[in-house]
Amino acid sequence: MASIKGKTIWITGASSGIGKSLALELGKYPCNLILSSRKEADLIKVKEACGGSDTISILPLDLKDHHQMDQISKKAISFYGKVDILVNNAGISQRSLIKDTDLDVYKQLIDIDYLGTVALSKAILPHFLANGIGHYVTVTSLMGKFGSPYRSGYCGAKHALHGFFDVMRMEHEKDGIQVTLVCPGFVQTNVAKNALTADGSPQKTDDKATQNGITPELAAKKMVSAIQKRKFEVNIGGKEISGAYLKRFFPKLLHKVVLKSQVR
């Protein structure tokens, strides 16, 4: 099991949900944390909740600013002289039918969930290569493995992340670079409330599946375990995890199960 002692870990989407809980969990370890999101005020609160230590730095980040990633990565490296682990956690979801969804909504999902993550990961790659070590921990979703109604654009972006980071692992494993794909199911966060609807506005309402999901604290503990074990992939959630296996072995059965139990 790889130790995270003394490591510098950069977490995107750290102001709430899984990212916040991961920061609080990692704050228990002797490591450096860099917390990023668009909401600087919320990041300050997360830092204070972690103890406000000098080993925790705040770096505002908007994944839509693709061309700023090189500069932002240099800033991240400057805090502690290195970045060992990049946790690609930031993103946004969707709740709308294909027939109703504006094309601009799909573009926004790709710009944030896929291209933003790719741009940031490429920006830090030369640093990882120069050090001969680096670990990408990319939070996708079970929706990156199989689909569900009302989430077409979200599923598309998350599927794309699996393809990109599988290749990242293949191309750079020889260079000391690790890739862990984290695939959460239902977790008690604001992901449903913030999800984009057909016209790009947030849904603003929760759903029962999310409310009944696992806690973000439990998700964070499982993520830390996966990071330390350097797992290729980890599925996190409840009974919905079975969908990943049904997709592989019984895709028609999964199709029926999802349609029967679909939630918006």
Q: How far apart are CA 177 and CA 138, in angstroms?
A: 13
Contact between 90 and 36 (Cβ < 8 Å): yes
Closest by CA position to 246, among listed 146, 141, 160: 146
Instruction: Please tell me the total number of residues recorded for the chain in this structure.
Output: 264
* H-state helical runs in 30-112: 40-49, 69-80, 103-109
Residue 57: beta bridge partners?
Answer: 34
Point out the catalytic residue in the list 114, 150, 154, 245: 154
154 is catalytic: yes
Closest by CA position to 11, among listed 159, 136, 144: 136
Contact between 202 and 195 (Cβ < 8 Å): yes
- What's at 38, amino acid-wise? R
Match 């294909």 to its residue by tokens. Answer: 98
Instruction: Return the active site residues.
Output: 154
